[in-house]
Structure 1
Amino acid sequence: MSTLSHSARLAPFQPETAWTLEGGTLVERRGGRERRFELAHLRRFRLAMPRGGGRQRALMLSFGRQRVAIASQSWRGPGLYDDRLESFSLLARTIAAVGADLSPHARFDTAGFKLRDAVTLVTSLLAVGAATLLLLAISSSMRGMAVDLAARMAFLLLLIFSALPWLPRGEALDPHDLPARWLP
């Protein structure tokens, strides 16, 4: 397999960061520092772009506890950026295809607000509140009111959980056929 690379300067006083795909390994080089990530250990592939469109893209890769962020634009000066979307798109598409083959359980999706995740957070907070009220009912003199409130919160939990299957899951990506609007 040939070597594929993309580079960008992420911050003003840092050297340029270069990402290279060497076989099944993603290599990140910044100055004299080098990090290697085996695509067989890829857990999550998240692609981000601004809401209004444009040519800015970012790729977040998770390898267990280690994370890698790859940007499509390189910092050139205050308010000035070099557009390197072509090499970024080629690298991202190759990482997705190779990562899907080497790590079949990896998740490939887009970044951004997901209604399903927000509802899950709200239901978990509601469940903690209901459990706290039940614990307080054991030790307080207002048992009837605490149990009544906890029962109403539990009923609300049931209603929310019944609506959860119909909420949108966000846009999942096919790693072998990434959409052209995300990676031109």
Structure 2
Amino acid sequence: MDPTHSARLAPFQPETVWTLRDGTLVETRGVRVRGFPLSALTRFRLAAAPQGGHRRVLQLSFGRAKVVIIAQSYVGPGRTEDRLANFSAFVRILARQAADAAPAARFDLAGVEARPALTWVAGFLAIGVIALLLSSLGADMAGVGIDMAARMSFVLILLLAALPWLSRGDGFDPRDPPRNLLP
């Protein structure tokens, strides 16, 4: 029997069923059926809710196509059904088969990643430095503008210096997924 997991993703959608069949992940939602060969997998990302609990999400990337598999099923307004046991078993089997079929795929744990946020802040700060310099030169206040831009540039340099030490995401061994996320 092929391993399956099912969940209702939203109020007005039929239940979605994910099945592993002959090296292919088959997603069935109502009459719509999509198949994704595991050999085309590029990213396997497992996420948990930041506040804990039983909420788990698996994000799979097959090139441009993305598949999201969740552990909870929508029941009604503000209510969900916990299907973590079935989800955990399904994800463990999927991870093992995906590791064999797509050895180049990235397996990582999602979390709050500071690196992209810090990169955006640094980019906006750089734009601010340039805008401050240009506006101060246009207002005949070059001395004040250069002084403020120099101070902002110092902060920008400090932010960029911290980037190499920030994590790019924690990877994991697909043959032994983390026990704290998949009980």
Specify the TM-score bucket, using the shorter chain as the normaliser.
0.7 to 0.9
Residue identity matched to 1:152 = R
Q: Distance in 2 between matches of 1:88 and 1:145?
A: 60
- Mapping for residues 21-170 of structure 1, pairs under 5 Å: 21-136=20-135, 141-170=140-169
The answer to whether the Cα contact below 8 Å between 2:45 and 2:58 also exists between their aligned partners in 1 is yes
State the Cα RMSD in Å: 2.6
What is the deviation of 1:45?
2.2
Runs of 5+ in structure 1 lacking a partner?
A: none
TM-score after normalising by structure 1: 0.80
Q: Tell me what 1:14 maps to.
A: 13
Q: CA deviation at 1:33?
A: 0.2
Partner AA of 1:69 in structure 2? V
Q: Which runs of 5+ in 2 are unaligned?
A: none
Cα distance change of structure 1 residues 148 and 24 upon mapping to structure 2, 3 Å threshold: farther
CA contact (8 A) 2:42 2:102 kept: yes
Deviates more, 1:124-133 or 1:17-26: 124-133
Indicate conservation of the 8 Å contact 2:137/2:145, yes or no. Answer: no
Change (3 A) 1:7 1:157: same
- Judged with a 3 Å threshold, the aligned counterparts in structure 2 of structure 1 residues 152 and 106 are, in CA distance, closer, same or farther, namely farther
Paired with 2:62 and 2:147, the residues of 1 have a C-alpha distance of: 46
TM-score (norm 2): 0.81
Deviates most, 82-91 or 22-31: 82-91
For residue 170 of structure 2, give the secondary structure of its aligned residue in structure 1. coil
User: Residue 165 of structure 1: SS of its match in structure 2?
Assistant: helix
Q: Distance in 2 between matches of 1:138 and 1:97?
A: 61
